[in-house]
């Protein structure tokens, strides 16, 4: 027993050693990638169920490093947050999203572009200014940009008046806020009063299990009806089947997003999907 315990301690520390090594490698390569603009952005359509058309896209960062290979956002973002590089990723994605929104607008597509921003980025007192500058520099109208924040973000924002202040400045300019991952644990209806949220995004775990139980359907329907009563647009994320789409339509859900419509793709592919 002793030996087994000893072994597991050895392997644990070597595992955490490996994790540390990977983290510092990612940090080092990310610095370089940001410098050389080696990051990419893909776009996933957001589809309006009543108008039966794509009305916007979510910008999702992609990184394939020549040394480490593909690093998924789920690994990349937490490391970037820890090291502070998240602000540089944010600036890159914002600039890219604004340019793309303008380009699509010129082509008469009028797609809104959603950007994911973390709470750490909003702690920067110049966040609102940075975003407004990107809008000005690219000639992008504010109403074409949406910002997705998570429930965890909302929880922390509540205690930090600076964050709320920045959000309100941007909302007044015409930027829409989306509450992402809704229902995953931090939800408080209080945020709806406190923060300028216009769209609720039901977390994909609820959509994936939608057809599996009556309880799930009641829950999702409940969120949709709550949105209606609050005059908030409801978007269901992670829609993969026609069955889920029909069910959500029946509930009166406004928008959907997911592999059924399209996985995240490049800008050319979006134009092909919209036409």
Residues engaged in binding ligand C2E (CB under 6 A): 44, 60-61, 72-74, 77, 89, 93, 116-118, 148, 180-181, 204, 238-240, 258-259, 264
Spacing of C-alpha 269 from chain mean position: 20
Pairing of strands 40-48, 255-257: antiparallel
Q: How far is the CB of 181 from ligand C2E (least distance, A)?
A: 6
> Nearest CA to 126 among 91, 100, 97, 92?
91
CB 180 within 8 A of CB 201: yes
Binding mask 101-120 for Ca ion (x = CB under 5 A): ---------------x----
Among 95, 121, 148, 151, binds Ca ion (CB under 5 A): 148
1 vs 79, beta carbon nearer ligand C2E = 79
Q: Which is nearer to ligand C2E, 41 or 171 (CB)?
A: 41
Helix (H) or strand (E) holding 273: helix 267-274
* C-beta of 16 vs 255, nearer to Ca ion: 255
| Of residues 7 and 185, the one with the C-beta less far from Ca ion | 185
Which partner, ligand C2E, Ca ion, none, binds residue 35 by CB below 5 to 8 Å per kind?
none
Beta strands in 141-215 (DSSP E): 145-150, 176-182, 197-202
User: Taking CB under 5 A as the rule, does residue 95 contact Ca ion?
Assistant: no
CA distance 237 to 184: 13
Count of beta carbons in the 10 Å neighbourhood of residue 35: 9
**Cβ neighbours for 146, distance < 8 A, ≥ 6 positions apart:** 56, 112, 113, 114, 115, 175, 176, 177, 178, 199
Beta strand segments in 69-202, E: 69-71, 112-116, 145-150, 176-182, 197-202
Closer of 95 and 180 to Ca ion (Cβ): 180
Q: How far is the CB of 28 from ligand C2E (least distance, A)?
A: 20
Q: Which is nearer to ligand C2E, 14 or 37 (CB)?
A: 37
**CB-based closest residue to Ca ion:** 148
Residues interacting with Ca ion, by CB under 5 A? Answer: 116, 148, 180-181
């Amino acid at each position: 027993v002793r030996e087994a315990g000893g072994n597991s301690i050895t392997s644990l520390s070597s595992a955490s050693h490996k994790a540390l090594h990977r983290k510092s490698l990612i940090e080092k390569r990310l610095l370089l990638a940001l410098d050389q603009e080696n990051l990419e952005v893909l776009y996933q359509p957001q589809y309006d169920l009543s108008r039966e058309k794509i009305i916007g896209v979510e910008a999702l960062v992609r990184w394939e490093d020549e040394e480490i290979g593909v690093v998924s956002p789920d690994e990349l973002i937490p490391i970037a947050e820890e090291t502070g590089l998240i602000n540089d990723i944010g600036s890159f994605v914002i600039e890219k999203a604004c340019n793309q929104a303008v380009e699509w607008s010129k082509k008469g597509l009028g797609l809104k572009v959603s950007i994911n921003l973390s709470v750490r980025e909003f702690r920067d007192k110049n966040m609102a200014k940075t975003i407004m500058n990107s809008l000005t520099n690219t000639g992008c109208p504010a109403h074409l940009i949406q910002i997705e924040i998570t429930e965890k973000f909302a929880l922390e924002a509540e205690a930090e008046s600076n964050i709320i202040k920045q959000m309100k400045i941007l909302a007044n300019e015409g930027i829409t806020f989306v509450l992402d991952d809704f229902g995953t644990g931090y939800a408080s209806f209080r945020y709806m009063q406190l923060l300028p949220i216009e769209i609720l995004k039901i977390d994909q775990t609820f959509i994936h299990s939608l057809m599996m139980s009556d309880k799930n359907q009641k829950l999702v329907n409940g969120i949709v009806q709550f949105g209606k009563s609050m005059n908030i647009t409801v978007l269901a994320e992670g829609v993969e089947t026609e069955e889920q789409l029909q069910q959500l339509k029946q509930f009166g859900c406004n928008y959907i997003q997911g592999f059924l419509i399209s996985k995240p793709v490049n800008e050319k592919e979006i134009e092909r999907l919209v036409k």
